[in-house]
């Protein structure tokens, strides 16, 4: 009798559908990770190399990251040279043809983005500029949708059996963005046209989305510390324009923004530019919602 039970169980196991093969996805940032997970759900396993509280320009190229990349089916990255300081080292160490340039799993997300701030020419005198354009594009939710569609198409290409799931998940993700944007409409209306100062040029796409007016930057050029004369000019510019909010990322030093705030009566607003940049902002949609609400509140 026991033998019959065992044989019956074995037959049932053989007849049951095999589990879908999981796509192994590595992303350079938490934002890409969250969108990939929203599209792939349990048909993928995903991990991010950069943490949400880190400056994604500067990430330690740990051997453990190379090991993950060595097994990856997909490596999705922001591109536009955002990861140039660490990505080539890791990709070379991974020895994975799938994620090499032009490989089946090489996903340069920037190729689906209408890129801002493209430079016809660039040199070191201009600071840490990105000649091919500003790479902080995920801060506009319409670009979040573009990223999701790119993942939908790539995952469907590599896992055709999951195509229907990827389409449904992408539609659900886009609907969530649209619902959040509608709920934020009153706050977006209150932000539109308001003068603000930003620390770095990373808020240009957020500016396009919210309609805020960036009248100056703490940095005179991207990645270049401000001089006393630059700060003096910025203080005068803020007084002329009435800017009362300075936006900065959590990983920058507050010393200079606080100095400018003291001399203008402005408020320093620390906003996360990425998922998991602050506690409680655990998804891309939550990031959009949090940043808009905090900015609207600061401008009131």
Task: State the pLDDT at residue 19.
Answer: 44
Where would I find the H helices in 161-283? Answer: 163-183, 185-191, 204-210, 228-241, 255-264
In a domain, 31, yes or no: yes
Are residues 238 and 149 part of one domain? no
222 band by pLDDT with thresholds 50, 70 and 90: confident
How far is Cα 234 from Cα 188, in angstroms, rounded to an integer? 25
Mean per-residue pLDDT over the chain, rounded: 91
The answer for residues whose C-beta is within 8 angstroms of residue 223's C-beta and 6 or more apart is 127, 128, 200
pLDDT of 233-268, one tens digit each?
999 999 999 999 999 999 999 999 999 999 999 999
User: Is residue 36 assigned to a domain?
Assistant: yes
Q: Give CA–CA dist 207/94, Å, rounded.
A: 37
299 closest CA partner among 261, 258, 262, 245: 245
Same domain? 197 vs 139: no
Interacting residues of 213 by C-beta distance below 8 A, sequence separation 6+ = 193, 194, 195, 196, 207, 241
Residue 211 lies in a domain: yes
* Mean pLDDT in residue range 129-136: 83
Same domain, 167 and 121: yes
Are 197 and 168 in the same domain?
Answer: no
Q: What is the pTM of this model?
A: 0.89
Do residues 90 and 115 share a domain?
yes
Percentage above 70 pLDDT, the chain: 90
Asked, for residue 255, whether it belongs to a domain, the answer is yes
Residue 6 has what pLDDT? Answer: 39
DSSP 8-state code for residue 227: P
The reported pLDDT for the residue numbered 197 is: 98
Contact 283, 32 (CB under 8 A): no
Q: What is the pLDDT of residue 122?
A: 58
194 belongs to a structural domain: yes
Q: Is residue 279 part of a domain?
A: yes
Last residue of a domain, one of 182, 201, 233: 182
Could you tell me if residue 83 is inside a domain?
yes
Asked whether 174 and 141 are in contact (CB, 8 A), the reply is no
Q: Which whole number is the average pLDDT over 33-62?
A: 96
Residues 251 and 285 in one domain: yes
The answer to whether 102 touches 139, Cβ cutoff 8 Å, is no
The domain boundary, picked from 164, 182, 200, lies at 182
The model's pLDDT over 60-99, given as tens digits with 9 standing for 90+, comes to 999 999 999 999 999 999 999 999 999 999 999 999 999 9
Residues 193, 241: contact at Cβ < 8 Å? no
In a domain, residue 18? The reply is no
Q: Are 189 and 55 in contact (CB under 8 A)?
A: no
Q: Give residue 129's pLDDT.
A: 62
Q: Is 63 exposed, middle or buried (0-12, 13-18, 19+ CB in 10 A)?
A: exposed
61 and 178 co-located in one domain: yes
**CB–CB of 191/217 below 8 Å?**
no
Tally of domains in the chain: 2
- Summarised one tens digit per residue, pLDDT across range 137-193 is 999 999 999 999 999 999 999 999 999 999 999 999 999 999 999 999 999 999 999
Instruction: State percent of the chain over pLDDT 90.
Output: 87
Whether residues 171 and 127 share a domain: the answer is yes
Residue 170 and residue 243 in one domain: no
Asked if the model's pLDDT at residue 7 lies above 80, the reply is: no
Phi, psi dihedrals of residue 237, rounded to the nearest 5°: -60, -40
Query: Of 17-21, 52-56, 146-150, which one has max mean pLDDT?
Result: 146-150
The answer to whether 215 and 247 have CB atoms below 8 angstroms apart is no
94-111 pLDDT per residue, tens: 999 999 999 999 999 999
Alpha helices in 184-227 (DSSP H): 185-191, 204-210
Residues 150 and 228 in one domain: no
| Domain span holding position 235 | 184-299
Answer yes or no: do 252 and 121 share one domain.
no
Q: Is 60 exceeded by the pLDDT of residue 8? A: no
CATH number of the domain bearing residue 83: 3.40.50.1980
- Whether residue 37 is found in the same domain as residue 172: yes
Which of 182, 200, 232 is a domain's end point? Answer: 182
Q: Is the pLDDT reported for residue 283 higher than 90? A: yes
Instruction: Give residue 20's pLDDT band: very low, low, confident or very high (50, 70, 90).
Output: low
């Amino acid at each position: 009798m026991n033998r019959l039970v065992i044989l019956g169980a074995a037959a049932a196991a053989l007849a049951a559908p095999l589990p879908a093969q999981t796509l192994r996805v590595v992303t350079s940032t938490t934002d890409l990770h969250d969108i990939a997970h929203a599209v792939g759900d349990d048909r993928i396993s995903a991990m991010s190399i950069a943490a949400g509280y880190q400056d994604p320009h500067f990430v330690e190229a740990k051997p453990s990251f190379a090991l993950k990349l060595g097994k990856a089916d997909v490596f999705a990255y922001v591109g536009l040279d955002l990861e140039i300081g660490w990505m080539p080292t890791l990709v070379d160490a991974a020895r994975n043809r799938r994620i090499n340039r032009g490989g089946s799993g090489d996903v340069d997300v920037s190729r689906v983005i209408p890129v801002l701030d493209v430079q016809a020419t660039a040199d070191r005198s201009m600071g840490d500029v990105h000649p091919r354009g500003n790479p902080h594009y995920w801060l506009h939710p319409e670009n979040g949708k573009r990223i999701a569609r790119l993942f939908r198409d790539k995952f469907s290409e590599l896992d055709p059996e999951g195509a229907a799931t990827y389409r449904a998940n992408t539609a659900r993700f886009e609907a969530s963005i649209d619902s959040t944007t509608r709920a934020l409409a009153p706050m977006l209306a209150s932000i539109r046209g308001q003068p603000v100062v930003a620390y770095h040029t990373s808020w240009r796409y957020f500016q396009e989305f919210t309609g805020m007016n960036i009248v100056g930057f703490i940095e005179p050029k991207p990645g270049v510390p401000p001089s006393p004369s630059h700060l003096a000019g910025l203080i005068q510019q803020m007084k002329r324009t009435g800017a009362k909010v300075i936006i900065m990322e959590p990983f920058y030093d507050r010393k200079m923004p606080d100095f400018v705030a003291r001399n203008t009566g402005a408020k320093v607003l620390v906003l996360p530019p990425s998922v998991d940049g602050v506690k409680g902002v655990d998804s891309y949609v939550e990031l959009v919602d949090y940043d808009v609400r905090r900015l609207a509140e600061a401008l009131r």
